[in-house]
Structure 1
Amino acid sequence: MTDPKRPTHSSSTNPYIPKGDGDAVVQAYIAAMPGWKSALGKEIDATVEEAFPEVRKQVRWNTPFYGKDDGWLLAMYCFKTYVQITFLTGASLDPVPPKASKVEGTRYLDIFEGEALDREQLASWVRQALELPGQQL
């Protein structure tokens, strides 16, 4: 029998977390990320907070979003073999995050087990995104 207090996961290993606003719901998502992905989620979260201490957080569609007053900057999502950071205005960042999207302006960074998060680059992208209009969901 499944523990009703323990989050379930999609086939891609992404946690199913009820939608909500604020840090607590994002921390619940991070805690539910399986294995090595949880430590990476904590590192991503801490890096975003260090670059932008006033960051707004929410979980929608089982995805944590990070933003500011006028909209959202980035999100993260678990896949079977990697964690993906979504930069909602990524095409305007320098350097442009490496993975293209079908959504205009959006770019991705995929991080696989054993790869280090380039915290300096992530913080730079966050600071650059702060200068751009946030995206509405």
Structure 2
Amino acid sequence: MASKTPKKSTKGAAKRVATKAAQPRKTGVKTKSRPKAGPKARQAEGQAKPVKLLSGGNPQIAKGEGDAPVQAYIAAMPGWKQDIGRRLDAIIVRSVPNVHKAVKWNSPFYGIDGEGWFVSFHVFTRYVKVTFFRGTSLRPIPPGESKHKEVRYLDIHEDELDELQFAEWVKQASQLPGEKL
């Protein structure tokens, strides 16, 4: 008994041929086109990509080493917190000239290269939280307690930064063994 093989339909093929014939031919001549408005085009045009603010207004900055990601984080801090971020960064750099900077977990970290991190900060809705990783060894001990044995916090509200005390804590913290994260 002869087996029947289904016939292939030619309707679809005819439509494809007709559609191709209706399209203009490419001549090989390239024309200049405007750049797309995507992230790469914005960067090429010198426009910064908008930074997403996470819960509490904390900037979402890609992790990275060095001053550039930290400055990007500070520039993206909302409202009065940006001024606090600039002041904290300036005090840390002034107090520890060889400080190593990075952004990790959407927070700037400061440490001694090869020795670990000694301080970081993070934006919350009503304040900026500074974390001293060996805070219980500082004198006087920073006020905010932590569930971690050695960590202490300093919550900075608008216009409440005691720069002299903060600078002293930074100097002390930089001389202690850092946190290896």
Task: Give the shorter-chain TM-score range.
Answer: over 0.9
Rounded Cα–Cα distance in structure 2 between residues aligned with 1:54 and 1:101: 28
In structure 1, the partner of 2:59 is: 15
Identity of aligned residues (%): 53
How do residues 19-34 of structure 1 correspond to structure 2 at under 5 angstroms? 19-34=63-78
In structure 1, the partner of 2:100 is: 56
Higher-Rg structure is 2
Judging by fraction of residues, say which structure has more strand: 1
In structure 2, the partner of 1:76 is: 121
- Residue 85 of structure 1 is aligned with which of 111, 114, 130? 130
In structure 2, the partner of 1:110 is: 155
1:114 Cα offset (Å): 3.1
- Residue 40 of structure 1 is aligned with which of 61, 79, 84? 84
Q: CA RMSD in A?
A: 1.2
User: Across the two proteins, how many residue pairs are aligned to each other?
Assistant: 134
Secondary structure, counterpart of 1:102 in structure 2: coil
In structure 2, the partner of 1:120 is: 164
Rounded Cα–Cα distance in structure 2 between residues aligned with 1:133 and 1:59: 20
TM-score, normalized by length of structure 2? Answer: 0.72
Secondary structure, counterpart of 2:177 in structure 1: coil
1:131 Cα offset (Å): 2.0
Secondary structure, counterpart of 2:140 in structure 1: coil
Secondary structure, counterpart of 1:12 in structure 2: helix
Rounded Cα–Cα distance in structure 2 between residues aligned with 1:101 and 1:91: 10
Q: Which structure is higher in RCO with an 8 Å CA cutoff and minimum separation 6?
A: 1
Question: Structure 1 runs of 4+ off > 6 angstroms?
Answer: none
Range 26-35 or range 6-15, more displaced: 6-15
Secondary structure, counterpart of 1:57 in structure 2: strand
**Structure 1: unaligned runs, 5 residues or longer:** none
Rounded Cα–Cα distance in structure 1 between residues aligned with 2:105 and 2:179: 16
Rounded Cα–Cα distance in structure 1 between residues aligned with 2:58 and 2:175: 30
TM-score, normalized by length of structure 1? Answer: 0.94
